[in-house]
Structure 1
Amino acid sequence: MSDESRTLSAVGEEGRVDPSAVLGTPPDGEPPTLGHAPRVRAGTVIYSDVVAGDDLQTGHHALVREGTTLGDHVTVGTRAVVDGHTAVGSGTSLQTGAYVPTNSRLGKRVFLGPNATLTNDPYPTRRDVGLDGPKLEADVSIGANATVLPGLTVGERSFVAAGAVVTRDVPPRTLATGVPATFEPLPDELDTRNAEP
């Protein structure tokens, strides 16, 4: 199948895919399942068995790996990585350089700021343990350069400040700041749903 026909079969007439994007891996594999009107920019790689809803947007050189599902109106920013077997809820925005590891779960309208990092391995290269990514509930915001450790839950509407390191579960409607993060009630001005795309 030619690159042009593979692209058209994957995105339909309303979608736009840059010629240097790769839809399906290996490159001659079947295309992923993309909903209506995706915009896939240069250098992006989306694995064959990825399933995405309507209006997927990627930045340049984004990566979405195997077994991942993306809801409607999801943004995967420039050089953002979504490793395999991950679920990303509708309206979620992953900004430049954000990292989402295998076995993570992101609810609706989650925001990951630039270079925010989620982790899934509690003992990198030291023990053979299962990989357990974080669970971010609906309307969670994670600031730039913040880190969330493996297996943790960040509760609904919580806000993790830029540069914070989250080492324990974050209750719903909580502001997490510092290294390691400390918690306080979410200020009223932040206690809202995240904006729809």
Structure 2
Amino acid sequence: MNTYVTGTGCEIDEDVTIGYPAGDDPGKAVIGDDARIRSGTIVYSDVDIGDRFATGHNALVRENTRIGDDVVVGTDTIVDGTSVVGSNVSLQSRVYVPTNTYVGSDVFVGPGAVLTNDPYPVRRDVDLSGPTLEDGVSIGGNATILPDVTVGEGAFVAAGAVVTDDVPARTLAVGAPAEHRPLPAALSGENTI
């Protein structure tokens, strides 16, 4: 049984796994046209990915994930299941996107950034709720975004920031815990991914 479907013009290295089974009755993995999937990458079943998808090496995309067009998932990046990633998104190397996360379109997430979904790791039984990154957000390298936080449209999270509260649209979040500041003129405008 074929566990996946790919569009035309895809370049997929030999040691890639697409359609890794999840659950008793997994759906197929669907990957659009012109994908470039590098060695060591695993894409689970029941994943729907748009056109021009690209990975670094050893990327992981878990089940029940929906990804738009023109998305990069960098080397050693993990997108845990039941998440949505919009179009024109760049998840750089070593990014962690947990279950139940929403990433809008035109979003940049820098290397080593960690998004989280459990407010009380292994201490309490709670519903997992990842962050929401609205359209046009930029996240600097090694930033940490805590569970159920919304980073507003066009906001910029500085490298190394620890975001514990919602970040208003077109605002700069800097520090640990992050403070909100007006977005400097040099950081205004749209992401060009």
What's the TM-score, normalizing by structure 2?
Answer: 0.94
Instruction: Select the residue among 119, 126, 130 that pairs with 2:127.
Output: 130
The separation in 2 between residues aligned to 1:12 and 1:92, in whole angstroms, is: 20
| 2:190 counterpart letter in structure 1 | R
RMSD: 1.6
**What amino acid does structure 1 have at the position aligned with 2:152?**
G
Alignment of structure 1 residues 1-197 onto 2, 5 Å: 10-26=5-21, 31-196=28-193
Unaligned runs of 5+ in 2: none
1:38–1:159 CA distance, 2 compared to 1 (3 A): same
* Structure with the bigger percentage of helix: 1
Q: CA deviation at 1:30?
A: 6.6
The one-character-per-residue Cα deviations of 1:150-190 (angstroms, maximum 9, x if unpaired) are 00000011110000000100000111111111110101121
Structure 1 residues not aligned, in runs of 5+:
none
Whichever residue aligns with residue 115 of structure 1, its letter is: G
Question: Contact 1:52–1:71 (CA<8 Å) still a contact in 2?
Answer: yes
1:16-55 CA-to-partner distances (Å, cap 9, x unmatched) read 100100001139x775101111111000000111000100
Deviations 1:47-98 (A, max 9, x none): 1110001000011000000000000000000000000000001001000000
Name the SS of the counterpart of 2:173 in structure 1.
strand
Separation in 2, partners of 1:99, 1:89:
16
> After superposition, what is the alpha-carbon deviation per residue over 1:123-156, rounded to whole angstroms, capped at 9, x for unaligned?
0000100000000000101100000000000001
8 Å contact from structure 1 (residues 58, 77) kept in 2:
yes
Q: Give the whole-Å Cα distance in 2 for the aligned partners of 1:24 and 1:48.
A: 4
Distance 1:56 1:119 in 2: 24
TM-score by length of 1: 0.92
Structure 2 counterpart SS, 1:183:
strand
The whole-number CA distance in structure 2 between the counterparts of 1:169 and 1:117 is 16
- The sequence identity of aligned pairs, in percent, is 55
Aligned pair count? 190
User: For the residues of structure 2 that align with 1:173 and 1:89, how far apart are their CA atoms?
Assistant: 19
Asked if 2 retains the 8 angstrom alpha-carbon contact of 1:23 and 1:31, the reply is no
Cα separation, 2, equivalents of 1:158 and 1:56: 25
> Structure 1 pair 13/188, CA: closer, same or farther in 2 (3 Å)?
same
CA distance change for structure 1 residues 108 and 57 in 2, over 3 Å: closer, same or farther?
same
Asked if the contact 2:103–2:134 (Cα under 8 Å) also holds between the matched residues in 1, the reply is yes
